[in-house]
Each structure stands twice: as C-alpha cells, then as structure tokens.
Copies of this chain bind each other. A is one copy, B any other.
Amino acid sequence: MNENEELERQFEFLRHLLQEDKMNEFREMFLDWHIYEQGQFYSSLDEQERHRLYTYLSPKEMADMFDTIEEDHQDMKDYLSEMSPRYVADMLNEMYTDNAVDLLNQLDKSEVTRYLSLMKSEDVRKIKQLLGYEDKTAGSIMATEYVSIVANQTVRSALTLLRKKAQEAEIIYYVYVVSEANCLVGVISLRDLIVNDDDTLISDMKEERIISVNVADDQEDVAKTIRDYDFLAVPVVDDHDRLLGIITVDDIIDVIDDEAASDYSGLAGVNVEAIAETPMKASLKRLPWLITLLFLGMSTATLISHYESLITEASILAVFISLITGTAGNAGTQSLAVAVRRLAISDDKDEKFFKLILGEIMTGLITGCVTGLVIFLVVGFWKHNFILGFVIGVAMLCAITVANLAGSFIPMLMEKLGFDPAVASGPFITTLSDLTSVLIYFNIAQLFMGFFIGT
C-alpha cells in the first residue's frame, strides 16, 4: 500500500510537470521509471495530457512504453488516433513484432493498411506474416526478435553477436543454433556461454535435444511446454523445423491468465475480464445470458405446468422441486468444472473420453445413492411419509447421475466439435439439469402417486 501511495504521489508530481510544460524535468524523471509504470501513468492521463506527453517522447520511447500496455486495453484505438500516422508507423517499427501485431489486431482493416503503408518494407513483411497466423496459435503470439547463430562459431563470436543484438532482441538468454537453411539444430543458454571458455566451439556445447513448438500449435500447449520445462522462452518452428520466432515466458503468463479467466467466466456465465465498468455496461453484458437462460428455464416451467394436476392433488410435491433441481445442478456443476479442467491439462484427449464419462457416471451413481438415502430418511421422518421419501430419493439419484453425465459429456462434445469446452457454461448445465430433474421427478412421482397420497 505504502509503495502504491508513493507511486501515486509521483504520478501527481509528474502530471504537474506535464501541465507546467516542463519537458526536460519531466523526461528526466519519467524515463527513469520502469516502462510498466510509464504505461500505467500514460493510461491515467486525459486526452490533452496524453497529447503533450506524445510531443515529449520519441517513437522509440513511446514504443517501449506501449510494449507494456495490455493490447486489449479498451482505449488503445483512441491512443493511436491521437498521434500522427507517421509517428504511429515509426512506433510500430520500434515495437517488438508480437506486440505490434497484437496492437494492429485491435484496429480496423483500413487503419492497419494506412499504418503499414508508412512502415519499412522489411518490417511490413514480418508483420503481415504474423498477422496471417490464426488467433490463439503459437504463431499469433511469437516474437521474431531472437538471436541465432550457426554451429561452426565459437563462444566468443556468440557473445559478440549477443552484445550487438542485446538492444533489439526480446530475450537474450538463449541463443538458437541454426543450419544454413535456418533449421533449428540446437539451443545454448547464456548461462552456458558465460561458463564455457571463449574458444569453445558452439557445435561442441549445444544441447542436442531441442524442445520446440510448431507455429500452428495451440497457445495452451505452448504454455504447458514452458510451464513444465521451466523455460524462459521456447523456439517456434514450421513443419520443416525452420526457426520462425520465439515465445517468451511473459507472454505465456498472459496466456495462462486469459485461459483461466475464460474457464472461470464460462462457469459463471459472465465475462469477468471486463472490470471497472458502469452498471449499465455490466448489465448489457450479463443480460444476453440471463435472458437466454430465462427462456431455457421457461421450458422447465412448461414441463412443470404439464404436471399441474399432479401438484393440485399433492401440493407436497411442489415443496421438493427446487431441492431436487438445485442438488442436481450442484452435482452437474462439479462434473463440469472437473471435465473442463481435465480437458485443459490433458495431453491425450481421445483416450480419456469414455474413461472420464464413465467415471463421472459412476461418481454420479455413488453420490446419488448417498444423497438419495439421506433425503429419503430426512423426508421420511420429517413428513412421516417414507413412500414420498422414496420417490424423492430415487428422483435425486437419477437426477444427479444424469447431471453428472451432462456435466462431463457436453464440454467433451464441445471440445470434439472444436469449440472451447468452457462455452458449455455452468448456468447452461444447471438449466439443462433442471429440465431433466423435473422430468425424472414427476415421472417417478406419477408412478407412485397411488401409494403416497393419503398415507
């Protein structure tokens, strides 16, 4: 907290310098900050202040700062529209390609074309290539600023190369060894370079066992590789093992965050990423789900209304509807959460399909039996009616088993069909299990109706 207040105070002071138009004092203090803090400061300014700041900074300085601003920042488009196109083009030139591409992906096609027309042709080629990769693949998040070397060099020349490239490379802690055809043949860490003698040949020390990812791999798989191997970066290759770029650990942290937030949002039926918004905006985002689920829920209501005569005969049945639907919904949500998580971390998705579903049905039967037995006893003693207890117990057993089946089957089906399994969100499963629970409950009740009325 204290550090935050200190930073807040400095923000205030800097803003003051900006308003007084004291460019030199401002630059001296501002450029001393970490680029992340610069980005935070920039995001906190109003349009006029941003404009002045923009006149103070070179495109390179602005680019360094923009590298740290989250690309999905809502005001990104405004920021760029406040600068001259030529300045933006220079800034994009100076940014790491992966960040420049992320930024361009936020813009309209016409704007992208305009900026690209002002950039150096070599950079444009690189950027266009990256823009071509499908979203959420390794290609879409990789950077092209890496350091590579051929194998017949020495440690000394590798270090010289690193020194030269240190300014522009996104990460210099790995040097990638390539063949003449730019195929990846080895990896050397900077740790290895500084430990070994200057005259050692690269070919003698390179790690033969290369861990790389394919440019078309899913970003989640890349995240898994970096996490498992504790890498700081992983090389990206094409189908012919040609080195195309690298993905660094900081980008992977963003991937992990995004995936976690999306799974979490799916379970709740709301996008939790959009924060600090007005109630009106929040409502507009939540309403589509709520209304959709309301109409799905209407089918449950319609179903119940088919059994209205049954309820008129035995209003006690109405008392337990929400208990049965609620419990089955809880069980279904548990299954769903486990299934989505397993799909996210599993390597071999086909093999586990039936095993997981079968396991969930078994789990449903066991938890259903126990829960059913408990409710049988509770209702039996409470209402002095063990036949009613039996009906509710059996209905609960069936409803929980079906909910577990739905909770595991639907996300797996989504995955098979190529959708994000998290789309089969929690509220959707709950509403679906409501419908089946009610159907099961009233059908069983109907069977036993003669027995428990009047007992």
Chain A residues within CB distance 8 Å of chain B: 1, 4, 32-34, 36, 68, 159, 162-163, 166-167, 172-173, 190-191, 194-195, 208-209, 211, 226-230, 232, 249-250, 252-254, 256-257, 260-261, 263-265, 267-270, 272-273, 275, 278-280, 282-283, 286-287, 289-291, 293-294, 297-298, 300-301, 304-305, 308-309, 311-312, 315-323, 325-327, 329-331, 333-334, 336-338, 341-342, 345, 347-348, 359-360, 362-363, 365-367, 370-371, 374-375, 378, 400, 426-427, 430-431, 434, 438
Contacts and interface: CB of A to CB of B under 8 A. Distances in A.
23 contacts: A32-B209, A36-B228, A173-B173, A190-B194, A232-B249, A249-B250, A256-B256, A256-B257, A260-B260, A264-B337, A267-B267, A279-B359, A279-B362, A279-B363, A283-B370, A294-B323, A294-B374, A297-B323, A301-B320, A301-B322, A304-B318, A311-B318, A330-B431
A442 B305 CA distance: 18
Given A209-B32, A267-B337, A438 B322 contact: yes
A41 to B, nearest CB: 13
Contact of A308 (B275, B319, B331, B426): B319
A34 B319 contact: no
A311 B281 CA distance: 39
Contacts of A431: 326, 330
A336 B268 contact: yes
Contact of A166 (B191, B278, B334): B191
B280 A366 contact: yes
Q: Kindly report how many copies of this chain are found in the complex they form together.
A: 2
Given A163-B195, A322-B300, A342-B275, A327 B232 contact: no
A337 B265 contact: yes
A146 to B, nearest CB: 14
- The listed residue with most B CB atoms (<10 A of its CB), out of A263, A294, A309, is A294
Contacts of A209: 32-34
Contact of A330 (B159, B304, B427): B427
A337 B250 contact: no
A345 B260 CA distance: 13
Nearest to A172: B191
- The listed residue with most B CB atoms (<10 A of its CB), out of A163, A256, A322, A374, is A322
A282 B341 contact: no
A323 to B, nearest CB: 5
A297 B427 CA distance: 18
A101 B54 CA distance: 49
B194 A272 contact: no
